[in-house]
Structure 1
Amino acid sequence: MTGRKAEAEERHGPRTAGSGRGDDTVYQPGRPPSRTAGGRLYRWGRGCARRPWWVIAGWLLLLCTAVIANRLGGGTYEDDFSLPGTPVQIGADLLEAHGGAEVRGVGSQIVLKSAAGGLSAHRRAIDATGSALARIPHVLSAAGPFTTAAAHSTDGTTGYFTIRLEEFPGRYGAAYLSRFDEAVRNLRADGVTVEYGSPLGELARPKAPERLSEVIGLGAAVVVLLIGFGSIAAAGLPLLTSVTALAVGLSVLGLLAGVCTLASESPTLATMMGLGAGLDYSLVLTTRYRHLLHTTDDPCTAAGEAMASGGRAVLIAAAAVAVALAGLCVSGVGFITTLGVAAGVTVLVAALATLSLAPALFGLLGRRIDRLHLGRATDEGIAAADLWHRWARTVGDRPWRFLAAGVLVIGTLSIPLTAMRLGHVDAGASPVEHTERRAYDLVSKAFGPGTNGPLTVVVALDPNRADKTTDTRSVAASLYGALGDTPGIASVDIPVPSADGALLVATATPETGPQDPATSELLHRVDHDTLPRALSRTGARGYVTGTTAARLTFQDVLAERLPAIVTFVVCAAFLLLLSAFRGLLVAAKAALLNLLSIGAALGVVVAVFQWGWGSSLFGVTQSVPVEPYVPILMLAIVFGLSMDYEIFLIARMREVWLRTGDNHLSVATGLASTARVITCAALVMTSVFFAFLLSTEVVTRMMALGLGVSVIIDATVIRLMLVPAAMYLFREANWWFPRGR
């Protein structure tokens, strides 16, 4: 008996499963299954392995049913940035109820540029184009450069149509843009340059080949799995399980889109999460099964034992991700909530597939899982085992040094986080190959950057006013003067009453672009100073609305609710780990280190996209702010994924602790036995995330980089340095938990 173990047993007595520790009981390989969670998982896994064709048939039936149902009744994805109760939403609702076609719906610009003779030389073609645009389905109105004075530049060479659509054009599909191409065909033939502004121009973006990111991510995962397992059969099992789960999960998501509004980013985020989590979960279970085959004669028994130990870790890991994503509901913003639902659906389906389809495939393959070797398998190789054992001993010998080194790395990477600026990434950040970027540049040069993000001011007049005509004129004059005197406003249109006389509507053009911090300050100034001052003692109420105001308000709402989301996610994860591992310090340490991991990953995002360090590598040619919902999504997703690796590591440590009562041995054994699988899983997950850097969406690239970097940090600095170093230092206190007696 080792000195440490002897000392532990002298203090506590020999530790065995169920030695008076209540639900600390764990399943012990080689013992008859009990009524504990481990025993139930053992019986489930063994049952799936003994009847593999039934389970496989069930998943095939589920897959076919889900795919066909989605084809027949699946919905479309669209963004809903509505913010009930906010001034911007109240203003939008008033326009919808009382405004005419020229102010309702969604606005977009079609920008015209004439190099020779100015636009006046093409007036007949422009007028004909305006009539053609107005006849396109779903177009509410089309105001041209000669019908709106402000839409015609002073040098006469640049102008734009303002199109009002019933919905965001993405709802009508990419083919919808061909109707506009046909309407402006004569203008282009007449030598006029025509560019589509956002959101119409987004339909013209060059698309990467469909499913390219998924294919590349899977290809990279195949390479990692083949190297890790050294067997085609073993590498193919996690791929088969995760791809099946992803197909089912996306089909279920499509059906949900048919009954509720899901954000346009939902399929992308769901694919990233479902594919990555599915590969990770299957990898952990497959590794445990192959290990048990060396000590178990019956493959079905090995499948059951793999489920009893690894299956519990997968269950807790999936629950951790679900709890973290549930924190997005705390935001109270429908757009954010739907993204959490989308990611949660595919992660939970991936966990279900891992816990049922994987053991069925174990039973079907049996010992043939190690066939089709690509050289000597290394997952059980002596060299690999010795490497991680030496690393565990090295960290155990110098825990303070590794703790300090890890904190230094995390702290350095987190420095840019202090300068993070939230803001909407507008068309000015798109590549110049995109038509909305060219339209943005033409408008900025001819009219000023603020023309790309005008503010719509809506005034609800007092319905009880005595002299309606005089009062309306008085309010309009006061509003026009106050807006014109407001610092930061470049120009103001004369306020126009609605057809029913209930509203006054004016357009204010900022001096700065939509993503400039000064525009956000202007919105607050108009909301809290200009409008109350202009409308005092009139009985009227003013609101600023429009796309730019909505996005800026969305940013403010998320920033305001971020502390509540952080508190919920951290507390929920802490309680989950506390109930799973019965250790106060283990749970608290995990929550703190996960926050450090998120801070470091966000620091890298700020350095690349906001500071511009290497941003050209990601197709971004200028500094852009961090999209407001990116930190919130990263918080929930990274916290959930970080818990995966924490659970895989701590679960193994806890098994040894419950058997031996030796913390040093528990940490060393847990680290040595899981380091390789965690590293392999992290490489798989990182490959999936980084594959989405090929997206044409700047925000998707931002998310892909942040998530990929967070996984790398978590699997290296956090799991291989900070966690074991802290647990070595805390010793037996890691596992202390009040017993209530």
Structure 2
Amino acid sequence: MTDSRPASIGDHNDKFPPTTAPRPRVDDAPGRLASLGRGCARHPWPIIVVWLVVLAGAVVADRVWGGTYSDDFTLPSTESGQGSDLLTDRGVTESSYSARLVFHSDGSLVDQETPIDQAIDQVEAVDHVLAVSDPLMGATTSQDGTVSYATVQFDGNPGGFGPDFVDDIDDATDAARAAGVSVDYTGALGQAAEPVADDRRSEAIGIGVAIIVLLTAFGSVIAAVLPIASSLVGVLTSMSLLGLLASRIDIATAAPTLTVMIGLGVGIDYALFLTTRHRQQLMDGVDPVTAAGRTVATSGRSVLVAASTVVIALSGLWATRIDFIGLLGLAAAVGVVVAGVAAITLVPALLGLIGRRIDAWHVRRPVAEESATVPKDGETDDESDSASTWRRYALALERHPWRYLIVGVVVAGVLAIPTQAMELGHVDDGASAQGSTTRTAYDALSDGFGPGLNGQFTVVIEPPSSDSADQAADVGSTLQEAMAGADGVESATPFAASQDGTILFSTVTPSTRPQDSATDDLLHTLRQETIPQALDGTDTTSYVTGMTAAQLDFRDIVADRLPEIIAIVVAAAFIVLLLTFRSPVLALKAAVMNLLSIAAAYGVIVAVFQWGWGSSWLGVDQQVPIESYVPMVMFAIVFGLSMDYEVFLLSRIREAWLATGDTRGSVATGLTVTARVITSAALIMMCVFFAFVASDNVVIKMLAVGLGFSVLIDATIIRLLIVPSTMFLLGRASWWLPRWLDRLLPHLEPEPGPPPARGGVPAARA
């Protein structure tokens, strides 16, 4: 049987015809996506008005009913959570939510006892405050008398009380400030007191860079502004929706910034891919409405696959069974979903409204996709005047695939080396921005009492009910002596009994700061050695709790469940790609390549933040551990975003293959026509992420650097070196699909073939 399809670009015909039959052209079998694109382009104003109404309604609803964001690391099933609940149940503490008011002055605070007492009385009268301790007791005042602290207990998370609550605390402590005493806050109160993260500067930087990149790459002012406009509508809508969610559930303080980062990045990218393809079809003489239908049926299909992959990856975070982590994934997913919907509805509507005027304003001769023109008779690809730089690059890859593959793998492998030294932990308040209330309070407590005061443990023991008070006291005395003598312990207070006498509790102060690995080691030593040995032979139950213990328990759970998350996300993405491209080889290759890019991105954040290579340039003045949940969140986001570029590249390769049956030529064609737009999209997203290093939050900086470098690595080393080189080496094996699997897999939206060129011959690049 003779294959009637045209040969691909270049002389690379395979010996065997493709196993997949030629697909019908877009015009012959448009499908629902093509109909959606044409409908939006033919009737743009109703679509635009609907989006504006949705945006306005979401913004107004958020202003009226929107909630606030707060971090909640409580884990009831852990030892720290059980110990905290026990302290509350037995009346030792009023609540599991507490913070410190830190009073500090150049002189003795005892001389300012009256205004400090007035401040304490006023704080006790504030709504949501359950109890306030006396800051001028001996144990809570430094030896030189210049620093003291009071523990405040709340009936909920202070981060959820709104900005007026912090104002009330500020007003209540004004009496002390008026007397020359500085007052700062720790914990959740300190976080609530910090200015709300203003992402407008980062957003402006990202948008400004995006406009420059789009103008430089594509020449048209309108084509540059359109992706920005659609992405901003999507970001504002998703942010408002997230605010409404925050009124019902506790969502982390990093969530809104994460939503903006992801929503803005993918929103611009999705709109860019659609706009670029639409403009190419206009240049090929297609009318705007038909061009919009073809664009949504082809690039729009890729957008939906890419967005679905990102959402699936983010949804995998729920496998941690930790609401804090799952809700971070939900926040990012909201931005991706809205961006994807805007791409296949709002973008074609704007394109239809603009029509052929898309290049009316331009800074240079407008261009769209790279040309993959067939060389003239008697002329090689390299000699053709029409052969673009990317075309020549694709042919160089084809001639030396092993060479480029080895280079790419070595570079990615070198970047991944620091990953082996990754230390998960919690970035404590000592890494906060200089001048912030949390950093000032942290430094004051460290100066007055030592760094360990910022990371104290509370040890709770519950003797058997049959034990007398004297027996329980003896057990407590033995344990207190053992803990005080343990390595890494600065002090351990004598055990005190709850009012009902059923439990005893002691405060252990480490000699190191909360984020030091020595503090982590001390927690494990107390739980696994010191306390069990001291309580050996008794039926006493023990718990080590406190904020630092809770954060370390959180870290351990996240680390234990990270492999599970990786397995779930990789498996889900494999299935999506298998359904999309009907090739287990390509789906497996994509998963492996993405794991390589993620490992390289992990290596970068370890080198920058944990080893301190250049961290001072980012405003981080010390080495810090990798925040426990950052690798997990990064994995879900990076894996999903990496699939974006994989999907866009493979979609064009598959289109060319369906049109020609030539595997090697299709890889060269797909790389040629997508390299510039993928590189431009990646540059935009990278700059959007890097713009957020301006945040004062160290965790946001960490995510910004990790995500920015991951996009850079993925769009260059992975997508331009390793992926095409691998496909050149695999050849026809890339499209292998067992017959039994072909029968088993469902057929999704009809996959469009390339539209006819003006001469009537299918164009692989259109």
Structure 1 match to 2:120: 130
Name which of 317, 341, 352 aligns with 1:352.
341
Matches within 5 A, 1:43-62: 43-62=35-54
> Could you tell me how far 1:700 is from its partner in structure 2?
0.3
CA distance in 1, matches of 2:304, 2:737: 22
> Could you tell me how far 1:60 is from its partner in structure 2?
2.4
Matches within 5 A, 1:487-502: 487-502=487-502
Cα distance change on mapping 1:294 and 1:632 into 2, 3 Å: same
Matches within 5 A, 1:221-240: 221-240=210-229
Structure 1 match to 2:426: 424
- Write the letter of the residue equivalent to 1:299: P
Helix, strand or coil at the partner of 2:424: coil
> Could you tell me how far 1:298 is from its partner in structure 2?
2.1
Q: Is the 8 A contact 2:33 2:301 kept in 1?
A: yes
Helix, strand or coil at the partner of 2:585: helix
> Could you tell me how far 1:603 is from its partner in structure 2?
1.0
CA distance in 2, matches of 1:88, 1:384: 68
Matches within 5 A, 1:298-697: 298-380=287-369, 386-462=388-464, 464-465=465-466, 467=468, 469-697=469-697
Structure 1 unaligned regions, length at least 5: none
Helix, strand or coil at the partner of 2:103: strand
Cα distance change on mapping 1:557 and 1:698 into 2, 3 Å: same
- Write the letter of the residue equivalent to 1:218: I
> Could you tell me how far 1:371 is from its partner in structure 2?
1.5
Cα distance change on mapping 1:27 and 1:53 into 2, 3 Å: farther
CA distance in 2, matches of 1:93, 1:145: 25
Cα distance change on mapping 1:399 and 1:289 into 2, 3 Å: same
Q: Is the 8 A contact 1:70 1:255 kept in 2?
A: yes
> Could you tell me how far 1:186 is from its partner in structure 2?
3.8
Structure 2 match to 1:706: 706
Cα distance change on mapping 1:178 and 1:308 into 2, 3 Å: closer
Name which of 3, 13, 16 aligns with 1:11.
16
Cα distance change on mapping 1:591 and 1:509 into 2, 3 Å: same
Cα distance change on mapping 1:3 and 1:700 into 2, 3 Å: closer
Q: Is the 8 A contact 1:33 1:40 kept in 2?
A: no
Structure 1 match to 2:25: 28
Mean alpha-carbon deviation: is it higher for 681-690 or for 500-509?
500-509
Mean alpha-carbon deviation: is it higher for 531-540 or for 550-559?
531-540
Helix, strand or coil at the partner of 1:107: strand
Structure 2 match to 1:109: 100
- Tell me if 1:84 matches 2:86: no
Deviations 1:256-313 (CA, angstroms, capped at 9, x unpaired): 2233222221111111111111111111111111111123442111111111111111
Q: Is the 8 A contact 1:208 1:694 kept in 2?
A: no
Structure 2 match to 1:278: 267
CA distance in 2, matches of 1:197, 1:65: 37
Mean alpha-carbon deviation: is it higher for 495-504 or for 566-575?
495-504
> Could you tell me how far 1:130 is from its partner in structure 2?
2.8
> Could you tell me how far 1:76 is from its partner in structure 2?
2.3
Q: What root-mean-square deviation, in Å, do the aligned CA atoms of Structure 1 and Structure 2 show?
A: 2.3
- Tell me if 1:74 matches 2:77: no
Instruction: Give TM-score, length-normalised by structure 1.
Output: 0.93
Mean alpha-carbon deviation: is it higher for 80-89 or for 152-161?
152-161
Q: Is the 8 A contact 1:492 1:509 kept in 2?
A: yes
Cα distance change on mapping 1:193 and 1:256 into 2, 3 Å: closer
- Tell me if 1:182 matches 2:183: no
- Write the letter of the residue equivalent to 1:49: A
- Write the letter of the residue equivalent to 2:729: L
CA distance in 2, matches of 1:25, 1:612: 55
CA distance in 1, matches of 2:297, 2:9: 28
CA distance in 2, matches of 1:255, 1:207: 17
Deviations 1:190-222 (CA, angstroms, capped at 9, x unpaired): 343443333333344456656222222222222
- Write the letter of the residue equivalent to 2:120: G
Quote the sequence identity (%): 48
Cα distance change on mapping 1:297 and 1:572 into 2, 3 Å: closer
CA distance in 1, matches of 2:50, 2:628: 42
Cα distance change on mapping 1:737 and 1:501 into 2, 3 Å: same
> Could you tell me how far 1:702 is from its partner in structure 2?
0.6
> Could you tell me how far 1:231 is from its partner in structure 2?
1.6
Aligned length, in residue pairs: 723
Q: Is the 8 A contact 1:104 1:164 kept in 2?
A: yes
CA distance in 1, matches of 2:361, 2:438: 51
Structure 1 match to 2:158: 169
Cα distance change on mapping 1:32 and 1:485 into 2, 3 Å: same
> Could you tell me how far 1:5 is from its partner in structure 2?
8.4
- Write the letter of the residue equivalent to 2:102: V
> Could you tell me how far 1:6 is from its partner in structure 2?
8.3
CA distance in 2, matches of 1:161, 1:4: 75
> Could you tell me how far 1:57 is from its partner in structure 2?
2.4
Helix, strand or coil at the partner of 1:32: coil
- Tell me if 1:141 matches 2:138: no
CA distance in 1, matches of 2:347, 2:187: 46
- Write the letter of the residue equivalent to 1:74: G
> Could you tell me how far 1:538 is from its partner in structure 2?
4.1
CA distance in 2, matches of 1:243, 1:114: 47
Name which of 72, 87, 102 aligns with 1:95.
87
- Write the letter of the residue equivalent to 1:616: S
Cα distance change on mapping 1:308 and 1:4 into 2, 3 Å: closer
> Could you tell me how far 1:142 is from its partner in structure 2?
2.1
CA distance in 2, matches of 1:384, 1:634: 41
Helix, strand or coil at the partner of 2:283: coil
Helix, strand or coil at the partner of 1:509: strand
CA distance in 2, matches of 1:4, 1:355: 30
Cα distance change on mapping 1:466 and 1:599 into 2, 3 Å: closer
- Write the letter of the residue equivalent to 2:659: R
CA distance in 2, matches of 1:344, 1:724: 29
Deviations 1:621-649 (CA, angstroms, capped at 9, x unpaired): 11001001110011000000000000000
CA distance in 2, matches of 1:568, 1:472: 48
Cα distance change on mapping 1:517 and 1:238 into 2, 3 Å: same
CA distance in 2, matches of 1:470, 1:359: 79
Q: Is the 8 A contact 1:685 1:708 kept in 2?
A: yes
Deviations 1:407-439 (CA, angstroms, capped at 9, x unpaired): 121112112111111110011112322232222
Cα distance change on mapping 1:494 and 1:262 into 2, 3 Å: same
Cα distance change on mapping 1:481 and 1:3 into 2, 3 Å: closer
Instruction: Give TM-score, length-normalised by structure 2.
Output: 0.90
Structure 1 match to 2:144: 155
CA distance in 1, matches of 2:369, 2:191: 51
Structure 2 match to 1:196: 185
Structure 2 match to 1:294: 283
Cα distance change on mapping 1:572 and 1:384 into 2, 3 Å: farther
Structure 1 match to 2:756: none
Deviations 1:552-609 (CA, angstroms, capped at 9, x unpaired): 1000000111111111111211221122112222111111111111111111111111
